[in-house]
Homo-oligomer: A and B are copies of this chain.
Amino acid sequence: MSNNLTAVKHGLSAQDRQAHYGHGGAVLWMTGLSASGKSSLAMALEQALTTRGYSCYVLDGDNLRRGLNANLGFSPEDRSENIRRVGEVAALFADAGLLCISAFISPYREDRARARQACRQAFHEIHIAADLQACEARDPKGLYRKARAGELQEFTGISAPYEAPLAPELTLETARESLETSLEKLVAYTVANIPLSRNHL
């Protein structure tokens, strides 16, 4: 399909970009049940890291489903394509040199494995591990209630599976610890694992 594509070398190397931003590009991929705290943590992390000088961007249902993925529904195929596109866009942001934080349920191991492959060594899987009971008790949008009532089909945790990560880079027990504690762990993980440039940040 790409017979007539000629590889055009980007003028900037990953090293150039790291020197420019002060840190390497990376993807912090948050996965977990609805209401586990992914979006809140993603937003809080973006804010905390930006304050520390990092260049970040959050991908979530809000900015993806309304634009790039607006032509996808909620069938199994479309959900899978949704996550595939998120993985590819996250890979572009990491290639650009940014710290991309994605916040999607992304319930299937196979879909997450494909996102990891797209992002290569830049990918960091973070399990937002609040259990179903805790998430259902929170239910800030009333979605679990609707799912139990049969008004929502294929709802993760109720009528569709959630395949927990087997070897995530980080696990946050957001049912048992505060958002502040989880945030501290995320910031510490980032500082320890994302390469920094000398004389910067």
Which residues does A use to contact B, with CB under 8 Å? 1-2, 4-12, 16, 20-21, 39, 43-44, 46-47, 50, 55, 57-63, 65-68, 70-71, 73-74, 81, 84-85, 88-89, 91-93, 95-98, 118, 141, 143, 146, 152
Q: List, in ascending order, chain B residues with CB within 8 A of A141's CB.
A: 4, 6
Report the minimal beta-carbon distance from A118 to chain B, rounded to whole angstroms: 6
Report whether B8 and A43 are in contact in the complex, using a CB–CB cutoff of 8 Å. Answer: yes
Do the beta carbons of B10 and A65 come within 8 Å of each other? no
Given A11-B43, A67-B88, A89-B68, A61 and B1 touching (CB < 8 A)? Answer: no
Which residues on B sit within 8 Å (CB–CB) of A43? 8-11
Contact A65 to B16, CB < 8 A, known contacts A11-B43, A57-B92: no
28 contacts between A and B (CB under 8 A): A1-B73, A2-B65, A2-B66, A4-B152, A5-B61, A5-B62, A8-B39, A8-B43, A9-B43, A10-B46, A10-B58, A10-B62, A11-B43, A11-B46, A11-B58, A16-B50, A55-B55, A55-B97, A57-B95, A57-B96, A63-B95, A67-B91, A68-B85, A68-B88, A68-B89, A71-B84, A96-B98, A98-B98
A92 to B101, CA, bound (A): 13
Contact of B20 with A50 in the complex, beta carbons under 8 Å? yes
Given the complex, which residues of B lie within 8 Å of A71, measured CB to CB? 81, 84
| Cβ contact of A62, chosen from B8, B44, B63, B91, cutoff 8 A | B8
In the complex, what's the smallest C-beta–C-beta distance from A128 to chain B, in angstroms? 14
Contact, CB under 8 Å: B95 / A92: no
Q: How far is the CB of A161 from chain B (nearest CB, A)?
A: 19
Q: How far is the CB of A61 from chain B (nearest CB, A)?
A: 5
Distance in angstroms between the alpha carbons of A25 and B25 in the assembled complex: 19
Cβ B55 vs Cβ A67 within 8 A? no
Q: A114 to nearest B CB, angstroms?
A: 11
**Which residues of B sit under 8 angstroms from A65, Cβ to Cβ?**
2, 5
